[in-house]
Chains A and B, each alone.
Chain A
Amino acid sequence: MSSKAELSSKATVSLPSVVPRNYGLWSEAWERLLRNRAAVVGGVLLLLITLLVIFGPWLSPFDHVIPDWDRAGQPPDAESSHWFGTDAIGRDLFVRTLMGGRVSLLVGILATLVSLIIGVAYGAVAGYFGGKLDNTMMRVVDVLYAMPFMFFVILLMVVFERNIFLVFVAIGAVNWLDMARIVRGQTLSLKNKEYVQAAQAIGVPPKQIILRHIVPNLIGVVIVYATLTVPQVILVESFLSFLGLGVQEPMTSWGALVNEGAQEMETAPWALVFPAVFLALTLFSLNFLGDGLRDALDPKDHY
């Protein structure tokens, strides 16, 4: 026993400076990410969809709101520039699908931001201060965790005016629990790191320690988790819109378009297929990218 202790204590004396610099860690993670084919495909696809959703509507001569009764229910056709066909009241589905995509992606990103801010703040505070405060805060999270989340969102939609702003606030406000738990766990382990203890020892106030030392080190896990939250949120939004409880006419989202498409799928399957494919591809890409990021940033979990 003593020989081992002896060996190891001596060994640390001449430990070479193998601690990699920060950018080294990130570039290593980046290389691991690039080796993951599914994640790369997901990332590229996501980029393409985003660009199309942002700039695509300008490529088409049509508007997404004005009906054209003469052309109602027209199948996809390049000649008339209705590339995805038209819906039951003659609106161009290419433009509507992309406009719906804007809403879905925007809600996904904004609601994720809301949950991220609440979750990181809550988790970092609970984890950093620990003790009784941590116990109470985590008990609250436990209790909220057991709530039927989706039903509360629906309840919120019923109670308040149905508007898009509320959709993402509602989703974000109930979706921060996972983030809080993960951040708290990370903070607990960071708190015991030497540099944080050193900062405490020289009297740096907690707020600064959290902002300067804890939060920056959470970036990896937060990026991973945020990437995996976006598809969840998009799913929730489209779920609500599908039920008619989310985005309201004339605005639209992928969920609302799938709902409209499903009602006339016998006569006009294209109205279902295009938004469905866009929605599924986006979720697919985000999930693969998120998985890839997790493996790249946390190789421990990588088998």
Chain B
Amino acid sequence: MIAYALRRLLGAIPTLLMLITLAFFMIRLSPGGPFDNERTLPPEIEANLNARYHLDEPLAMQYARYLGNVLRFDFGPSFQYKDWTVNELISSGFPVSATLGLLAMALALVVGLSAGTYAALRQNSWIDYGVMTIAMTGISIPTFVVAPLLILVVALSLGWLPAGGWDWTPARMVMPVVTLALPLIAYISRLMRASLIEVLHSNFIRTARAKGLSERQVIFRHALKPAALPVISFLGPAIASVLTGSVVVERIFTVPGLGSHFVQGALNRDYTLVLGVVVFYGMLIIVLNFLVDLIYAWLDPRIRYDRRWS
């Protein structure tokens, strides 16, 4: 198990390097400098700015410097928010985004796994068709459509919840969390349904039935765990999807999370901020994927022991 973890960890290093390199050069090779929209700057001020952001150094040097800084978790100053460093923006926004993301993930797992299991056990019943149609709707209606509609109905018409804003109270968390969770619930329930149906057709389930186990025991002791494995491997993409979704959700519900900062940065062409957030999220995804792999290996004995697997 430890050997497996180490191997996975080693495998993540090229991914991390690729991430930083791609992001860095994409920004640096862009047409036009970061101060293009302030073209009237006197040359000495522009030189000053360039020196401050190390834009006067050769590209290779800038890259090495950036790489070094990133590995020390230093993403440099923001281009647009003059008094802020990217680190400060991340540490102010990320706790908010992480709270929303974790809650959404937990909600999605609980609802998605139960709905998928329920549908699989009543395959081809009306309940099954109902759950699957709702799930398909959840996949097909984008977050940025669901969110305004929720605000329109729940906040503006019914007045049950505040339409937006942030103060760490549950009332303000409900709608963003639900919006973030909906597409995940849809995916997880479809995944769980399909995989449970497949597992229920497998030979070892027949063996369990032949042993005289009750249907309940067959499902709980033998079917659920293998059926949940594809859902576990989906958690990696799910994390990425929550991060992406948070960009929209935070904007619509005016939540001061990292996603909001990111969009603002993108619209303002705040290069260091956008680069910093992309790299930060990339690193986060890599680390979380690593954890997901470990959970998967812990659940699936065949991976834990098989040395050829990598």
User: Which residues does A use to contact B, with CB under 8 Å?
Assistant: 142-144, 146-152, 154-161, 231, 235, 238-239, 242-245, 255, 258-259, 261-262, 265-266, 269, 272, 276, 279-280, 283-284, 287-288, 291, 303
Instruction: Please tell me if the beta carbons of A243 and B247 are within 8 angstroms of each other in the complex.
Output: yes
Does B19 sit within 8 A of A, measured CB to CB?
yes
Q: Ordered nearest first, which 5 A-B pairs have the shortest CB separation?
A: A159-B30, A283-B140, A262-B148, A284-B140, A150-B244
17 new A-B contacts, CB < 8 A, other than A238-B144, A259-B144, are: A147-B282, A148-B244, A149-B240, A154-B247, A154-B274, A160-B30, A242-B248, A243-B251, A262-B147, A266-B156, A269-B152, A272-B148, A283-B140, A283-B142, A284-B136, A291-B136, A303-B123
Shortest C-beta distance, B66 to chain A (Å), equals: 15
Does B252 sit within 8 A of A, measured CB to CB?
yes
Does B54 sit within 8 A of A, measured CB to CB?
no
Please, which residues of chain A bring their CB within 8 A of the CB of B228? none
Shortest C-beta distance, B6 to chain A (Å), equals: 18
Please, which residues of chain A bring their CB within 8 A of the CB of B281? 148, 151
Please, which residues of chain A bring their CB within 8 A of the CB of B15? 142-143, 146-147
Does B98 sit within 8 A of A, measured CB to CB?
no
A102-B269 Cα distance, complex, nearest whole Å: 29
Question: Could you say which of A150, A151, A258 contacts B148, with CB atoms under 8 Å apart?
Answer: A258
Shortest C-beta distance, A36 to chain B (Å), equals: 12
Instruction: Please tell me if the beta carbons of B240 and A148 are within 8 angstroms of each other in the complex.
Output: yes
Measured CB to CB, the nearest residue on chain B to A276 is: B145
Instruction: Please tell me if the beta carbons of B266 and A235 are within 8 angstroms of each other in the complex.
Output: no
How big is chain B's contact interface, by range? 35 or more
A146-B285 Cα distance, complex, nearest whole Å: 7
A212-B147 Cα distance, complex, nearest whole Å: 49
The interface residues of chain A, by DSSP majority, are classed as: helix
Measured CB to CB, the nearest residue on chain A to B28 is: A159
Measured CB to CB, the nearest residue on chain A to B283 is: A148
Shortest C-beta distance, A29 to chain B (Å), equals: 20
Measured CB to CB, the nearest residue on chain A to B12 is: A146
CB contact under 8 A between A155 and B240, given known A146-B15, A239-B144: no
Please, which residues of chain B bring their CB within 8 A of the CB of A280? 137, 140-142, 145
Measured CB to CB, the nearest residue on chain A to B123 is: A303
Measured CB to CB, the nearest residue on chain B to A243 is: B263
Pairs across A and B, CB under 8 Å, 14 listed: A148-B244, A151-B281, A155-B274, A155-B275, A158-B271, A238-B142, A243-B248, A243-B263, A243-B266, A262-B147, A262-B148, A280-B137, A284-B137, A303-B123
